[in-house]
C-alpha cells in the first residue's frame, strides 16, 4: 500500500486582478501534514500550477496507483463556473477550478476532473480537499486568532477571466456542486455551493479559513479518527462564524466517511 499526495496552492492569478494571499501557505501546510502521515508529496505552487501541469500531475498519480493505494489531492485557490455546454447540469453551470493560467481561459472543469479521476484502478482511494468556492451564517467558533479586517472570497467571477460576451444574460453568480461528482471517494469542501471560502490571516499569517481549522483540528482528533469525526471537529465548532460565514461540506459514501483519516 502506497500513499501519494498532490498539494496545489495558487495566490498569483496573472491578468485577473484577483490575487489571493493564503493559498501557497495552505498547500505547504497540507503537504507537511500529509508527509507526517506517510504520504509522498508533490507540491505545485503558483506558476507551476498551470492547467496542463495540474492535469498531468493528477493523471500521473492516479495512473500509477494500484489497489490499496491512497491518493490525496488538495487544492487552494479560486473557484469559478462556466456555462454548461454538455447539458448535464440542471443549473446550466459547470463548476471549475482556476489554474494559474485561468487568465488565458484555462479553467479545469468538473467534467474534466471527473474523467481524469475515473481512470483510477479498482481499489484505489481518492481523497479531495478543496479550499475554494463552493460557500452560510450562524454565530459559532472562536475567531480570536483571526486578524482584523475583512477576508477575501476565493471566487473568481467568470467575467474576470472570460469576458461578459461569453456569458448568458442574467446567469446567477453562484457555483454548482460539480466537484462533488468528480470521481473521488471523498470530498471535503470549504463551503456550500452558494457560499464563499475565505482567504484571510491568522496571527498575521495568510491562510484559507477552512484549511486553517481543518489542520488545527486534525492535530487534535487522534490517529484513529474517521473522516466523519474529523469533519465534526471542524464544524460547527470552528466554522461558520460571523466573520467567516462558510459551512464546510463532506461528500462521500457512508463507508468512506468511516475510513481512518489519510490511511
In a domain, 262, yes or no: no
219: domain CATH number is 3.40.50.1460
pLDDT tens by residue, 227-239: 999 999 999 999 9
Q: Is the residue at 263 inside a domain?
A: no
Asked if omega into 240 is within 30° of 0 (cis), the reply is yes
In a domain, 238, yes or no: yes
| DSSP designation for 106 | -
**Domain containing residue 51:** 3-257
Q: Are 26 and 76 in contact (CB under 8 A)?
A: yes
pLDDT of residue 238: 96
pLDDT digits (tens, 9 = 90+) for 145-170: 545 554 777 777 777 777 654 544 43
User: Using one digit for the tens of pLDDT, what is the confidence trace for 91-129?
Assistant: 456 788 999 999 998 999 888 888 899 899 999 999 999
Whose CA is closest to 173, among 42, 78, 80? 80
Which residues does residue 93 pair with via DSSP β-bridges, in sequence order? 83
pLDDT digits (tens, 9 = 90+) for 27-39: 999 999 999 999 9
In this prediction the pTM is 0.86
Q: Please tell me the distance from the alpha carbon of residue 94 to that of residue 251, in angstroms, as a whole number.
A: 18
Residue 124 lies in a domain: yes
Indicate which residues carry an active-site annotation.
78, 133
Please state, for a pLDDT cut of 70, what percent of the chain lies above it: 81
Amino acid at each position: 500500500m502506497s500513499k501519494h499526495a498532490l498539494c496545489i496552492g495558487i495566490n498569483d492569478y496573472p491578468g485577473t486582478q484577483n490575487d489571493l494571499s493564503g493559498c501557497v501557505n495552505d498547500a505547504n501546510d497540507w503537504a507537511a501534514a500529509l508527509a507526517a502521515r506517510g504520504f509522498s508529496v508533490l507540491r505545485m505552487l503558483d506558476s507551476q500550477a498551470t492547467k496542463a501541469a495540474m492535469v498531468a500531475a493528477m493523471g500521473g498519480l492516479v495512473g500509477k496507483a494500484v489497489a490499496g493505494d491512497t491518493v490525496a489531492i488538495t487544492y487552494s485557490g479560486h473557484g469559478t463556473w462556466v456555462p454548461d455546454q454538455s447539458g448535464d447540469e440542471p443549473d446550466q453551470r459547470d463548476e471549475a477550478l482556476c489554474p494559474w493560467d485561468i487568465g488565458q481561459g484555462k479553467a479545469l472543469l468538473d467534467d474534466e476532473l471527473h474523467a481524469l479521476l475515473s481512470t483510477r484502478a479498482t481499489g484505489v482511494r481518492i481523497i479531495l480537499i478543496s479550499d475554494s468556492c463552493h460557500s452560510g451564517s450562524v454565530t459559532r467558533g472562536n475567531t480570536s486568532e483571526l486578524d482584523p479586517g475583512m477576508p477575501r472570497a476565493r471566487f473568481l467571477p467568470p467575467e474576470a477571466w472570460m469576458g461578459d460576451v461569453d456569458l448568458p444574460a442574467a446567469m446567477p453568480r453562484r457555483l454548482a456542486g460539480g466537484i462533488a461528482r468528480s470521481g473521488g471517494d471523498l470530498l471535503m469542501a470549504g463551503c456550500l455551493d452558494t457560499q464563499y471560502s475565505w482567504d484571510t490571516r491568522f496571527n498575521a499569517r495568510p491562510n484559507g479559513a477552512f484549511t486553517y481549522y481543518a489542520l488545527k483540528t486534525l492535530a487534535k482528533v487522534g490517529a484513529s479518527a474517521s473522516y466523519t469525526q474529523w469533519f465534526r471537529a471542524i464544524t460547527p465548532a470552528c466554522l461558520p462564524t460571523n466573520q467567516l460565514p462558510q459551512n464546510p461540506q463532506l461528500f462521500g459514501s457512508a463507508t468512506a466517511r468511516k475510513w481512518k483519516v489519510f490511511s
